[in-house]
Amino acid sequence: MTGGRGRLAALIADHFSVPAYDTRLYSRSPGVKFHALAHLTEPGTLATAGTLLHLAWSTLPATSEPGGGTEWQNDLPYLEKLLAALAAVPVANRPHFIFFSSGGTVYGNAPGRPNTEDDPCQPIGWYGRGKHAAEELIGRLSARDQLATTILRISNPYGYPVPANRAQGIIPHAVLCARENLPLPLWGDGCARKDFLHYTDFLAALEQVVTRRLTGTFNLSAGESHSVREIIALIEKHAGKKIALRHTPGPAWDVVDSRLTSRCLTDATGWRPQITLEEGVRRAVL
């Protein structure tokens, strides 16, 4: 699994643990428990793998904008090299490749209904453009080299700790502000709508994809969208206190209406999300 030092990767590694799975973490910063990312593309490394989860990405939506396309210098060249290494493995031994894309940013704003996988992608920020370019690269090389690949367009997973300085995740940041009586920066008027997926539902869905070696492009979402103000109100309810808001203008690249359906994934695997937003927020606050 690439992106091994990320918090989401740590959750996945804990879920896919021994003895059922032998999980190896790869990172640009190798160390104890972390293999060097460069080793993955060396001859023979991938021949013994059953599944390769590709989480490594150098930007977040907020950090991508100042650089204006750094993904084309860092992430996309490495992805192409990684897919070439997969193609070099004999067909019978090739691992299943799963790419973690972005459910909200690749589509852009919803067309008045939940986005399906057949909808055109219309990203409005550099992060979404980079992820979409990665999807197109995977599609081309998978067809050319007969690779078994999956693209997961994931909504906003939550329910696990994230660093306070990470510029992503309204739920953990709002929970932290409630706990420590800090003001919460709020983009715009708080009416932006997002899909929030509890991490345990995310892991259950991922396990279905891995064990079935499911290929194709799939949305992975809760199937419900809620405004940022609804999220804040739920956290205030379960924390028993108000959160002070510090209003800032909403950035032009932010998707303000993200709605997804996971019907295709449900039809293929039987998976359905089990944790309601109310319950997920309650667990996050406790």
Q: Where are the domains of the chain?
A: 7-159+196-224+260-273
* 89 strand-pairing partners: none
Could you tell me the pTM of the whole model?
0.95
What is the structure's pLDDT at 163? Answer: 73
**Residue 23: what pLDDT?**
94
The string of pLDDT tens digits covering residues 135-171 is: 999 999 999 999 999 999 999 999 998 876 665 789 9
Main-chain phi, psi angles of 149, to 5 degrees: -130, 155
Do 221 and 155 form a contact (C-beta atoms < 8 A)? Answer: yes
Distances in whole angstroms, Cα of residue 149 to Cα of each of 39, 89, 205, 216, 269: 20, 14, 16, 7, 16
User: What are 99's two structure tokens?
Assistant: 């790419």
Q: Measuring CA to CA, which residue among 65, 63, 1 is closest to residue 34?
A: 1
What is the distance between the alpha carbons of residues 94 and 41, in angstroms, rounded to a whole number?
13
Tokens of 237: 């309810």
Q: What sign does the dihedral 179-244-198-125 (CA atoms) show?
A: negative
Position 268 pLDDT exceeds 70: yes
Looking at domain 7-159+196-224+260-273, its CATH class is alpha beta
**Helix (H) or strand (E) segment spanning residue 35:** strand 34-36
Question: How far is 40 from 82, CA to CA, in rounded Å?
Answer: 7
Query: In sequence order, which residues have a C-beta less than 8 Å from that of residue 132 and are 6 or more positions away?
Result: 101, 106, 121, 123
Q: Are 127 and 81 in contact (CB under 8 A)?
A: no
Mean pLDDT of 91-116: 96
pLDDT tens digits, one per residue of 217-233: 999 999 999 999 999 99
CA-to-CA distance for 278 and 97, rounded, in angstroms? 34
Residue 72, Cβ neighbours under 10 Å: how many? 14
CB atoms within 10 A of CB 59: 19
β partners of residue 32 = none
Average pLDDT of the residues in 194-208: 97
Alpha carbons 112 and 118: distance in angstroms, whole number? 15
The pLDDT value given to residue 161: 82
**Mean pLDDT, all residues of the chain:** 95
pLDDT for the residue numbered 109: 97
- How far from 236 is each of 133, 169, 184, 239, 275, CA to CA, in Å? 39, 17, 12, 5, 19
